[in-house]
Structure 1
Amino acid sequence: MEKTSFKTWPESAARLVAVAAGRDAADSVICGGRVVNVHTREVLDGWQVAIADGRFAYVGPDASHCIGPETEIIEADGQYLIPGLCDAHMHIESGMLTPAEFARAVTPHGTTSMFTDPHEIANVLGLEGVRLMHDEALMQPVSIFTQMPSCAPSAPGLETTGFEITPEDVAEAMTWSGIIGLGEMMNFPGVINADPKLLAEIAATQNARKTVGGHYASPDLGPAFHAYVAGGPADDHEGTCEADAVARVRQGMKSMMRLGSAWYDVETQISAVTEKGLDPRGFILCTDDCHSGTLVNDGHMNRVVRHAIDCGCDPLIALQMATINTACHFGLERELGQIAPGRRADVILTDDLRTLPINRVIAKGMTVAKAGKVTVDFPHLSWPDHARNTVHLGKDLGAVDFEIHAPEGANSVTAKVIGVIENQAPTKALTADLAVIDTVVEGDVAQDVCQIALVERHRATGDVTNGFVSGFGYKGRMAMASTVAHDSHHMIVVGTSREDMALAANRLGEVGGGVTVWQDGRELALVELPVAGLMSDDHAETVAAKAQKMVEAMEACGCTLNNAYMQHSLLALVVIPELRISDLGLVDVTKFELTDLFEDT
C-alpha cells in the first residue's frame, strides 16, 4: 500500500469506476473481514473492500473482480473493518505538540481525521500562526482540517492578546484549502448582543458555505441561549449535563460530547441517547484538549469511543458519533467517515468493537500504523525563528512583583478566590479570610489558598497581575509556571512562595516557554515548549516523559487533582465561569466584567 498515491475524487473518479466495474485492478483489497456500516448500523460479515488512488472503489460481498497481478491482498482474518475515527473538535496545541507530532501520536490510536481550532497560537502569533499550523497540517498522511479561530481575544476588554483576529482575517482564511470552518465562537455574550464584528466573522464563514463552531459556556438555557443559536453557531462542546445536550439538539445544533485529559462530559450527557432515546445523529464525540501523556498512555478518539460504550452506548452508535456524524456535520459525508465508494480509504482493523484494540490503521489508502507503531513519516514544517522567540518578560522578576498589598490599615482581608473544580472547566467564585503581614496579604496553606499571578509575556511590559486560587492542595514552599494559559497565553504562575514564583517565571523566560515546577528554590521539572511557548516539535513520547515528571513534581508539592496541569492552564480563560484572572485583573465571568480582588469591608 505504501506505493499508493492519494488523489482527489475528480482526479480518481474514472479509475474508481473502472475498478468497481472490474475493468481495472485495485491497488489493494481487504478480504476476510467484517465491515461495519455506519450508515445502516450493521456489521456485514465477509464483505470485501477494494482501494484505488487512496479511496474506496468497491465495498461489497466479493471484490475478486477488482484484483489484478499487482494488487496487494490484505487478509483481515475475521477482524472488524471500521471507518477511521474523527475528532470533531480539538486543539493540537493542548497536546504540547506541533501538528506533525500530534498526528504521529494519535494515528496508532485510529484517529485519521481531525478538526482543529488553533486559537491558542492565534493569540500569540495571529493569522501567521494559524497559517503555519494549517500548512503543517496539510503535509500529514492523515486528514487534518483547520478551523479559523474566531475569538482572539476571547473576551475583548477583559484581556490583552499578542494579536487580534479580525473579520478580514477570517474572510482571507476561508479561501485557504485546508480551512473547514470557523473555530469555536467563545465570545457568546458578544453573539447574544449581536456584536457586528462577530456577526461579520460568522457571515464570512457562512458565505463560504463552511461550518461555524460554537462555545456556549453558560447554564442559562433561556432567551440568551436561543439568541446565541440564532447567531449561527452550529455545534457546541461546552455542555456538562443531559439538559445541555438535549437543548442543543432540539435547536438544530450538534451536541459535541467531550472526553479530554481533564474534561469528563460524555457520561453526564450521553443519557440523552441511551436513556431518553433521542436520535443519535445529533450527537458527536470529541476530545477538545488532550495532553501528550494521555495520547501516549491512554489513547485518543479510541479512548472516547470506549468510554461512551462503557457509559451504556451501543458500540455501533458510538462509532457513528465518531465517524459519519462528524463527517456529515462538516459537509464531508462524500469524503470521509464511512467505508463506502468514493470516500477516502480510512479504515481500522480491530478484533473487538467494545474494547477497540487498534491493530492496523489505513489512511488515504496507505497503512500508516500497525500494532501501535507508525509506519510512515510525518513531515515537519520549518518554523521561523520569531515563532520560537515569543516569551518577552521585559525584566527579571523578583519576589516583590508577586506581593499583594492590602488596603491601607487592614490587618486582615476577605479576598475573592478562584476555586478549581476537578475534571471540569468551570471554576467557583470563593472567598477566604486572609492575614496581612507588613501590609502584604498572605496565602493560607491551611485553607488551601495559594497565590496566582498572570505575567504579561507578549509585549515585555513587565506587568504582573496577582490574585488567589484554591483547590490544588499545595504544601510547603513551591511554585508552578506555564506559558500555556488559555486563551491569551501570557504566563500563569501559581505558588505558595513568592521567591519560587519569581524563579519559575524567569526560568520560562530563559527557555522560551513551557512549564516548570519549583520547590524550595530548586527546579523539580521542566517541559520546554519553544514553538510559540505552546508546543514542542519533539516526539510525543519525549514530551510525555517530561510531562510525567511535571505531574510527579506537582504531586510532590501536595497536589492530588486529576490532570491538575490542565486546570492550571485554564485559569486565565475568561469566557468560562465563574472567576478567572487576566492581565487586566480578576474577571467575574458570570457578569463578564473586571472585579476587585477584595470584598468590601
Structure 2
Amino acid sequence: MHSGMVEPFEAVAPRLVDVAMGRQKADLVVRGARWVNVHSGEIIPETDIAVVAGRFAYCGSDASHTIGPDTEVVEADGRFVMPGLCDAHMHVESGMVTVTEFCRAVIPHGTTSMFIDPHEIANVLGLAGVRLMHDEAVKQPVNVWVQMPSCVPSAPGLEEGGAVLGPDDVAEAMGRPAIIGLGEVMNFPGVAGNDPKMVGEIAATRKANRTVGGHYASPHLGLPFHGYVAGGAEDDHEGTRMEDAAARVRQGMKAMLRLGSAWYDVAEQVRAITEMGLDSRHFILCTDDCHSGTLVRDGHMNRVVRHAISRGLKPMTAIQMATINTAEHFKLEREIGSVTPGRRADFLIVSDLAELKIDAVYGRGVRLAGAGRLEADMPAHAYPDSAIDTVKLGKRLSTEDFAVKAPSGAGDTVEARVIGVVENQAPTKALTAALPVRNGIAMPDPAADICRIALVERHRASGDVTNGFVSGFGYRGRCAMASTVAHDCHHMIVVGTSEEDMALAANRLGEVGGGVVFFADGAEKALVEMPIAGLMSNERAEIVAEKADRLIGAMRDAGCTLNNAYMQHSLLALAVIPALRISDKGIVDVETFSLVDLFV
C-alpha cells in the first residue's frame, strides 16, 4: 500500500543497498544530527542520514561514502532529526478546507502522515464523496491515508442523511491504494448486538488485513463495552478519563488520546501512563477535529505533542505516540514512523525537542517547509459540480418554522428536555427545564442560558424542521447561528434566541450553498462559505481562518464564552455520543439509542 509520489520499497531496494554500501550516491545527506531513534528510545549524537529515491538508505556515524557531486548535503549542526508526525485519526472536513489546503496548513507544523476518515462527505455524497477525497489524497506531497467510513448514517433509525453505505461498499473500497482501514465504528450498540451491517463491514476490513477504527462513546465499561471489543474494533479516541484509556489498552486496543480545537482529552488519559505506569507503546496521539484557525495559528500534531509533554510525558515517549506507535497500529511501520533504512524519508530537523521547534520539514526526501513556512508547490485540485449543489431546503424558511408548539393543554410553563453543552468535550448533558409558554408556543429562557435549536433537513428538499432547546452557549439579545456542518448526517443546525434571526441564517446558507453564518439583530455578522458538500471551502486556509475568526468574534459579542463554540455547535446532532442530541427524526436519547419526546 502506498499513496502519492513514492515508489514501492521492492522497486528501489537495490538502490537503497547500493547507497548504503557506497556503490551509488545518495540524493540527500543530513550530517551531524542528533538522531531521535523511536525504536530504541535513544537520542544518538553525531549521526549522518542518507536518502535516495525518497527513502532512508543509511543511518550511521559517517555517510561520506554516500556523498557524490550531485548529492545535496544539509548540515544539522547538532540539531535533532526525528520522524515526521502522524495524525492517527482526523476529519479533514473539520478544518473547513479541502485535503490539499489542509496539507498546506499542517506541513509547516511537521505533520507528514494523516489518517483521515471522510465520513462527513460520505454522509452527503456517499461513496462518490469518499472517492473524491481519496483521489485528492493520493496527489499530496505527504502521506494521506483514507479510512473507509463505517457508519453512513451514523445512527440508523435515529437519523436519515444523504447516503447509505454498507458491507459491499466497504469491501469494494478496500482495493483502493490509499484505503488503510475502516473508519470509526460509531454504532457501538450495533456491534455489541451483532448488527449484520456492522459485522459485515468489520469482516470485510479484517479480510483485507486493514485496521478497524473504533468509537465507543459511552462511559459505561460493562458488558456492552466487552461485546464491542470482541466485535473487532482496534482503537478508540472517545475516552475522556484515565480509566477509559486503561480499559481499552487492557483489552488489546490502542487508546487514542485527542487534542483538537475543542476536545481536550489528553491530560486526563495520559495519567494512565504517568501515574498507572501502563506501557506507552499502546497509546497514540491524534487530533480528531481541528478547525482552520487552530491549524493556521496554533499548529497541528506538534501542538498535541507539546501538550502531552507538558502533562508529564518524556519527549521521547510523546514523539513515539505520534510516530512509530501510529505506524505500527496501521501496519505501516515498514513505510513510516521512524528515521530508519527503507522507510519513507519523512523527517523533521528540530532545534528544541521539548518545545518541538521545527526548523525544516521533509517529505519523501524533499524539503517541504522551513521556519514555519510552506516551500513546496501543492497540487492543483478542483471538485466537480456534483459536489457543490448539495444544500436543498425545499422552501424559503420562515419564523413559524422555528416556533415550538407547546403540548395541548399546557399552562404557563412546560417541562422540556434540553441539550446541555459540555465545554471542551464531545458528550452533552440531558437536562430538563421549566420553560414559559406564550400563546401556545414554548419559549426559550435566556436568563437560564436556554435558547432554541433546530435541525433543518437539507438533503431531500423536504422542508422539514425539528425543533428543541439547548443550554450552554450564553447568548444574549437577538442572534442565531446556522451551519451545514452538523455531524454526522450534516443537515443544517440552527441555534438562536430569536426565530427571525434563525430563519435569516438558514436561508442565507441556502443561498450560498452551505457553510456557517451568524446573525444578530437581523444583520449578518460573519459568514464562512463552504460550498463543497456544504462542508468545505474552496478558499485558502488562511482566508478561511480569517472568516472563522470573525465568526468566533461575532459569537463572543453575543455573549458566548465557550472555547471553540463552533465545534460544540457542529456536534449537537451527533446521535452516537451521549447524552442528548437532535436529528431529523426528533430528539435522541443516546444513552438508550431511542427517540424521546421534547416535552417531559
- TM-score norm. by structure 1 comes to 0.99
Once residues 6 and 505 of structure 2 are traced to their aligned partners in structure 1, the CA distance between those partners, rounded to angstroms, is 47
The alignment status of 1:210 with 2:210, answered yes or no, reads yes
Q: Do the aligned partners of 2:5 and 2:141 also contact (CA within 8 Å) in 1?
A: no
TM-fit CA distance, 1:11? 1.5
Aligned to 2:241: 241
Deviations, residues 360-399 of structure 1 (Å, cap 9, x unaligned): 0000110011111111122133211120110000000000
Once residues 380 and 91 of structure 1 are traced to their aligned partners in structure 2, the CA distance between those partners, rounded to angstroms, is 21
Deviations, residues 71-105 of structure 1 (Å, cap 9, x unaligned): 00011122100100000000000000100000010
The alignment status of 1:413 with 2:430, answered yes or no, reads no
Aligned to 2:596: 595
Once residues 290 and 5 of structure 1 are traced to their aligned partners in structure 2, the CA distance between those partners, rounded to angstroms, is 26
- Which residue identity is paired with 2:564? N
Aligned to 1:552: 553
Aligned to 1:522: 523
Pick which of 131-140 and 350-359 moved more.
350-359
Aligned to 2:468: 467
TM-fit CA distance, 1:323? 0.2
Once residues 216 and 380 of structure 1 are traced to their aligned partners in structure 2, the CA distance between those partners, rounded to angstroms, is 37
Once residues 538 and 459 of structure 2 are traced to their aligned partners in structure 1, the CA distance between those partners, rounded to angstroms, is 21
Q: Do the aligned partners of 1:148 and 1:179 also contact (CA within 8 Å) in 2?
A: yes
TM-fit CA distance, 1:166? 1.1
Look up the SS of the partner of 1:267 in the other structure: helix
The alignment status of 1:317 with 2:340, answered yes or no, reads no
Matches within 5 A, 1:247-326: 247-326=247-326
Deviations, residues 320-350 of structure 1 (Å, cap 9, x unaligned): 0000000000000100000000000000011
Look up the SS of the partner of 2:405 in the other structure: coil
Aligned to 1:403: 403
Aligned to 2:98: 98
- Which residue identity is paired with 1:483? T
Could you tell me which runs of 5 or more consecutive residues in structure 1 were left unpaired when the two chains were aligned. none
Matches within 5 A, 1:499-518: 499-518=500-519
Look up the SS of the partner of 1:422 in the other structure: coil
Aligned to 2:586: 585
Deviations, residues 222-270 of structure 1 (Å, cap 9, x unaligned): 1111100000000000000110000000000000000000000000000
Once residues 59 and 284 of structure 1 are traced to their aligned partners in structure 2, the CA distance between those partners, rounded to angstroms, is 26
Once residues 369 and 106 of structure 1 are traced to their aligned partners in structure 2, the CA distance between those partners, rounded to angstroms, is 10
Look up the SS of the partner of 1:359 in the other structure: strand
Deviations, residues 190-248 of structure 1 (Å, cap 9, x unaligned): 00000011100000000000000000001111111110000000000000011000000
Look up the SS of the partner of 1:33 in the other structure: strand
Look up the SS of the partner of 2:354 in the other structure: coil
Look up the SS of the partner of 1:358 in the other structure: strand
Aligned to 1:348: 348
The alignment status of 1:327 with 2:327, answered yes or no, reads yes
Aligned to 2:183: 183
- Which residue identity is paired with 1:489? H
- Which residue identity is paired with 1:511? V
Look up the SS of the partner of 2:252 in the other structure: coil
Aligned to 2:231: 231
Once residues 434 and 222 of structure 1 are traced to their aligned partners in structure 2, the CA distance between those partners, rounded to angstroms, is 36
Distance 1:504 1:53, change over 3 A: same
Q: Do the aligned partners of 1:517 and 1:524 also contact (CA within 8 Å) in 2?
A: yes
Q: Do the aligned partners of 2:339 and 2:345 also contact (CA within 8 Å) in 1?
A: yes
Once residues 222 and 45 of structure 1 are traced to their aligned partners in structure 2, the CA distance between those partners, rounded to angstroms, is 49
Once residues 291 and 410 of structure 1 are traced to their aligned partners in structure 2, the CA distance between those partners, rounded to angstroms, is 43
Once residues 97 and 370 of structure 1 are traced to their aligned partners in structure 2, the CA distance between those partners, rounded to angstroms, is 22
- Which residue identity is paired with 1:436? V
Matches within 5 A, 1:81-160: 81-160=81-160
Look up the SS of the partner of 1:65 in the other structure: helix
Once residues 376 and 361 of structure 1 are traced to their aligned partners in structure 2, the CA distance between those partners, rounded to angstroms, is 10
Matches within 5 A, 1:531-550: 531-550=532-551
- Which residue identity is paired with 2:304? V
Once residues 97 and 361 of structure 2 are traced to their aligned partners in structure 1, the CA distance between those partners, rounded to angstroms, is 21
- Which residue identity is paired with 1:532? A
Distance 1:78 1:244, change over 3 A: same
Once residues 374 and 54 of structure 1 are traced to their aligned partners in structure 2, the CA distance between those partners, rounded to angstroms, is 19
How many residue pairs are counted as aligned between the two chains? 596
Aligned to 2:482: 481
Q: Do the aligned partners of 1:31 and 1:48 also contact (CA within 8 Å) in 2?
A: yes
Deviations, residues 136-167 of structure 1 (Å, cap 9, x unaligned): 00000000000000001111000001001111
- Which residue identity is paired with 1:535? M
The alignment status of 1:491 with 2:492, answered yes or no, reads yes
TM-fit CA distance, 1:58? 0.3
Once residues 7 and 230 of structure 2 are traced to their aligned partners in structure 1, the CA distance between those partners, rounded to angstroms, is 38
Aligned to 1:445: 446
TM-fit CA distance, 1:515? 0.4
- Which residue identity is paired with 1:234? E
Q: Do the aligned partners of 2:5 and 2:139 also contact (CA within 8 Å) in 1?
A: no
- Which residue identity is paired with 1:72? E
Once residues 319 and 452 of structure 2 are traced to their aligned partners in structure 1, the CA distance between those partners, rounded to angstroms, is 44
- TM-score norm. by structure 2 comes to 0.99
- Which residue identity is paired with 1:163? A
Once residues 433 and 6 of structure 2 are traced to their aligned partners in structure 1, the CA distance between those partners, rounded to angstroms, is 60
Look up the SS of the partner of 2:352 in the other structure: coil
TM-fit CA distance, 1:32? 1.6
Aligned to 1:454: 455
Once residues 5 and 112 of structure 2 are traced to their aligned partners in structure 1, the CA distance between those partners, rounded to angstroms, is 16
Q: Do the aligned partners of 1:452 and 1:495 also contact (CA within 8 Å) in 2?
A: yes
Once residues 533 and 6 of structure 1 are traced to their aligned partners in structure 2, the CA distance between those partners, rounded to angstroms, is 33
Deviations, residues 79-138 of structure 1 (Å, cap 9, x unaligned): 100100000000000000100000010000000000000000000000000000000000
Could you tell me which runs of 5 or more consecutive residues in structure 2 were left unpaired when the two chains were aligned. none
Pick which of 404-413 and 226-235 moved more.
404-413
Calculate the aligned-residue CA RMSD, in Å.
Answer: 0.9
Q: Which runs of 4+ in 1 moved over 6 A?
A: none
- Which residue identity is paired with 1:55? R
The alignment status of 1:377 with 2:351, answered yes or no, reads no
Aligned to 2:563: 562
TM-fit CA distance, 1:6? 3.3
Look up the SS of the partner of 1:429 in the other structure: strand
TM-fit CA distance, 1:5? 6.8
Aligned to 2:54: 54
TM-fit CA distance, 1:7? 2.0
Q: Do the aligned partners of 1:136 and 1:380 also contact (CA within 8 Å) in 2?
A: no
Aligned to 1:21: 21
Once residues 341 and 83 of structure 1 are traced to their aligned partners in structure 2, the CA distance between those partners, rounded to angstroms, is 12
Look up the SS of the partner of 1:351 in the other structure: strand
Once residues 148 and 347 of structure 1 are traced to their aligned partners in structure 2, the CA distance between those partners, rounded to angstroms, is 27
Look up the SS of the partner of 2:268 in the other structure: coil
Once residues 380 and 5 of structure 2 are traced to their aligned partners in structure 1, the CA distance between those partners, rounded to angstroms, is 20
- Which residue identity is paired with 1:7? E
Deviations, residues 21-73 of structure 1 (Å, cap 9, x unaligned): 00000001001210100000010101010000000000111101111110000
- Which residue identity is paired with 2:341? P
TM-fit CA distance, 1:537? 2.2
Distance 1:29 1:64, change over 3 A: same
Q: Do the aligned partners of 1:455 and 1:465 also contact (CA within 8 Å) in 2?
A: yes
Look up the SS of the partner of 1:268 in the other structure: helix
- Which residue identity is paired with 1:304? V
Look up the SS of the partner of 2:62 in the other structure: coil
- Which residue identity is paired with 2:250? R
Once residues 44 and 540 of structure 1 are traced to their aligned partners in structure 2, the CA distance between those partners, rounded to angstroms, is 37
Look up the SS of the partner of 2:394 in the other structure: coil
Identity of aligned residues (%): 66
